[in-house]
Structure 1
Amino acid sequence: MTKRIVVTGIGATSALGGTAPENWANLLAGVSGTHTLTHEWIEQYQIPVTFAAEASVRPEEVLPRHEAKRLDPSTQFALIAAREAWEDAGAPDIAPERLGIDWATGIGGVWTLLDAWDTLREKGPRRVMPLTVPMLMPNAGAGNLSLHFNAKAFARTVVSACASSTESIANAYEHLQDGLADVVIAGGAESAIHPITMASFASAQALSRRNDDPEHASRPGAIDRDGFVMGEGGAALVLETEEHAKARGAKIYAYLVGGGVSADSYHITGNDPEGAGAARAVEQALAQAGATPDQVTHINAHATSTPVGDPNEYEALKRVFGSRIDEIPVSATKASTGHLLGGTGALEAVYTVLALRDRVAPPTINMTEPDPAVPFKLSGEPQPLGDGPQLAISNSFGFGGHNAVVAFADYPG
């Protein structure tokens, strides 16, 4: 028997704010989280891209020093987002063996790893912190959340580039369906605005070069887009069976009705221009939801603002929705937040849940002249979703050919 899975708590920290409500308010207001970086390493290493969407509330402003110093920034963001989501869900009273963690990151503890390497070279092995490996490992987020919340059902980690945290949510759906837990904290976090990643993405011609106009650099769907903007932060959702949520009197945001995961097997960095794999992930999510493409009323697109990626996503969705894709309200929220890599899917899932709650598709800022090859129904203003049942999907596609899609439905509460 298929269980109904609901969202009972959300948390988010990004360039748009340190909490989910701040994120949502600034997203609807059309705020850009992208700014010029002031770090000394920009000039020191002559990084060709001088801007990014750094988290607006720094972890050290939220976490006690004794706690923060034992965690890589990516795990700091994980803990901040998950704590907010847990409190938002009413801090469920649940047996540890029935609480699970499905977490994700794309890169993990890059700051810890490279800081330790610098320490080794400059000061020798005795000065390398003993906690270096537990801090840099990609599963540090899941492990630390398990410790913090006393979650003993499982603590699993997905590392599938920019599809990571969407895949973690899809996995959480299946784990709840399989009865492995009654409540799951799912999401992802990333902190990779680092000289090596900025230099590498710039070298790959993946980043926008609009150093003179950073706030308008990310332009999904625009004909003059020239690359994505690095972002950072984390987001979390508390997911549980509807039966469990109702039994404890929890507020419910939305239903999580399905997820789909596929692989392109096309290119290590580029996605399939025909969109077959991405389309298959959408179809899987809708099949799991028991829904048809005609029922979808909103899409949070992956839409990174790269010249190649945006048209490929359009082609993928056209495979599923046909000409109707031009009529569905689409939001490309990375224009506001930057690209959080492994954390981006969870953040966009939070936005999708709130879009259903408020029946509004958030705006896509920085739209100049639309690209005829990407004729999504994007708007610089919030788009009302109207009356009647709502079904939304959120897409994430990553290096390695990873595709992940999750589907949410409005909760008639």
Structure 2
Amino acid sequence: MSMLDRAQCEALDASDPLAAARDRFHLPEGVIYLDGNSLGALPKATARRIDDVIRGQWGDDLITGWNKHGWVDLPRALGAKIAKLIGADADEVVVCDSTSLNVFKLLSAALALRPDRRIILSDNGNFPTDLYMAQGLAQLLGRDHRLEIVAPDAVIDRIGEDVAVVMLTEVDYRTGRRHDMAAINARAKAAGVHTLWDLAHSAGALPVDLNGSGADFAVGCGYKYLNGGPGAPAFLFVARRWQDATQQPLFGWFGHAAPFAFETAYQPKSGIDRFLVGTPPVLGMAALACGLETFDGIDLNLVRQKSLALGDLMIRLVAQECPDFDLALASPVGAERGSQVSYAHPSGYAVMQALIARGVIGDFRAPNLIRFGFTPLYVRYRDIWDAVAALKAVLATAEWQNPALNRRAAVT
């Protein structure tokens, strides 16, 4: 295989059909941002939109903004936009709450559909908060429900008639390994098992086909590839066939059939709206709306093609430029990978801090993984070359041994 150079990466940028999308984002000069799988970059439109909502809508129109500016409709309006990205219908997705709360709500609803079963099946690549929510719900229910955690490649064979729900993150947050959603949904359906998918690391990074694959429930966050800002509202999906057959446990006024009747007894709305709880966070939703608009006119198949190409390029360049350092590829090669590449290194935290000091922002996941996320709307091929060059310099000079780089910050 021939050696690659930076000029070849620049040539790839010149022919990139998504290159123009980069201009939709504010990207600091001198920074290579490879952490969009933790927090998406700021869309240029967001600051103006938030300023308008604060000054023009809230400031001038006060409480009339709920009707005048459609604040009350934001959960469904934004849900419809997300539905296009995840293979769902507009009336199957709603924006609300956090990913963790949505896991709690949907897992509760799914368990109620199988009152004769007690096992929640997940894997050790699932994001910990999902597992925590399952543990807390099982304890709260007090009916001997049990979370069973297996290796990712053991999930499909473990699905059986004693399992109530399979709860998985489609793309492993540490390694980027991608589950075969269609195969797992098919196996689950055959065994009478419901599925709950976390799309935090897939929505906006690759085409998701919830309805085509037969998914029952799903959740996702708004602040990673959807570029909604830190702590952006999350979303949930409930297949239409289950909406009126289920009930989530958090009875809030926005999920009430007549919220402004102010009745003392709870009566749920029909359809997806019954999964709402409290008042929509309008400012956060305004920012998320800008994040979703960065996908206007974008073909998700091109996003996926570029995502894989960026990851393959990094794997090839690390093998080419850093063969003599203590790096071990922790991610799959090819289509089994989401939109990130991870490497194990004994001093992974300090290595990443040294990279960040050089302007290459990725992140670290315990115990030893350095992660590089690829957001195809703004990451360039030349960025991968420059990031690997910085990684090579960090390892060659052993600058990561600086004690200051080994002191753990609160957020890693």
Name the TM-score class by shorter chain.
under 0.3
Higher relative helix content:
2
TM-score normalised to the size of structure 2?
0.23
- Greater strand share, 1 or 2? 1
Larger Rg: 2
